[in-house]
Amino acid sequence: MKTILWATLTANGNYAQSGPDNPPKKEALDDFTAQANAAGNLIVGRRTFEGMQDPSRISAEEQANAGGPFTGLDIVVLSKSAQAIPGVTVARSPQEALDFLRKKGHPTALVSGGAEIHNAFLSQGLIHEVIFNVVPVMEGKGLNLLIDQEAYRHKPVQLLDCKSLGSGVVQLRYAMNG
Ligand SMILES: NC(=O)c1ccc[n+]([C@@H]2O[C@H](COP(=O)([O-])OP(=O)(O)OC[C@H]3O[C@@H](n4cnc5c(N)ncnc54)[C@H](OP(=O)(O)O)[C@@H]3O)[C@@H](O)[C@H]2O)c1
């Protein structure tokens, strides 16, 4: 099973944080929905999942579309503490999340954030490919994506694709086995 990490980065290379003062770009969100639907699944950290559930962050269009854009997908929420959450599968570790999706026959798993989850997968060497959507925003002090710093100081990766998504959003796609 191929594991893809999907993330939005700011123009100055931070791991982008969205909120009321910096709402996600429509082009990046549409791409995320398309990638998740293509994979048929998404893996998400407990804090990001709770943010996705916040009604103030869901558009009127999504509220009208009962179930939202992820209806029918296998959603895996990573948490060491949460008990069962209706409609999703809770996994206790990155490997447990991948084992669940592999057993369900998914050829691809989409790891969609947030920072702790992305860094857990990267540092455990569980990612085959990364998709970065770079948005035209500079951010002050913020979050970073980190590889296993004991194993690597620099890890070359292979550029697979580079394209514009519109409104200044640029998508970069890399294979981790550069
Ligand atoms: N740039 C992007 O593409 C992108 C995407 C999504 C989110 N974000 C941003 O990321 C931020 C949220 O990220 P975050 O780091 O605070 O939270 P997060 O990664 O969404 O969730 C963290 C939680 O996941 C669980 N967890 C973490 N590591 C785990 C592991 N190894 N095994 C099992 N469970 C694990 C823990 O849940 P328990 O506490 O329940 O144990 C932890 O509290 C927000 O600012 C959001 O805007 C950015």
Query: Which domain covers residue 145, as residue numbers?
Result: 26-108+126-166
Residue 149 lies in a domain: yes
E strand or H helix at 44, and its extent?
Answer: strand 41-45
pLDDT given for residue 125 in this prediction: 94
Q: Which residue's C-alpha comes closest to atom 46 of ligand 1?
A: 17
Report how far ligand 1's centroid is from the alpha carbon of 45 (Å). Answer: 4
Most ligand 1 atoms within 8 A of CB, residue of 31, 116, 130 to mutate: 116
Number of domains in the chain: 1
Q: Which atom of ligand 1 is nearest to the CA of 120?
A: 31
Residue 171 lies in a domain: no
Going residue by residue through the chain, which has 178 residues, state the pLDDT in tens, using 9 for 90 and above.
999 999 999 999 999 999 888 999 999 999 999 999 999 999 999 999 998 887 666 555 544 444 568 889 999 999 999 999 999 999 999 999 999 999 999 999 999 999 999 999 999 999 999 999 999 999 999 999 999 888 888 999 999 999 999 999 999 999 998 6
**Ligand 1 interacting residues, C-beta cut-off 6 A:** 7-8, 15-18, 45-48, 78-82, 92-94, 113-117, 120
Q: Which residue's C-alpha comes closest to atom 11 of ligand 1?
A: 114
Residue 1 lies in a domain: no
pTM: 0.94
Q: Which two tokens stand for residue 43?
A: 């893996």
- Long-range CB contacts (within 8 A, 24+) of 46-51: 46/77, 46/78, 46/79, 46/81, 46/82, 47/114, 47/116, 48/112, 48/113, 48/114, 48/117, 49/75, 49/77, 49/85, 49/88
Q: Which residue's C-alpha comes closest to atom 3 of ligand 1?
A: 7
Query: Cα separation of 81 and 97, whole Å?
Result: 15
Q: Which atom of ligand 1 is nearest to the CA of 17?
A: 47
Residue 118 lies in a domain: no
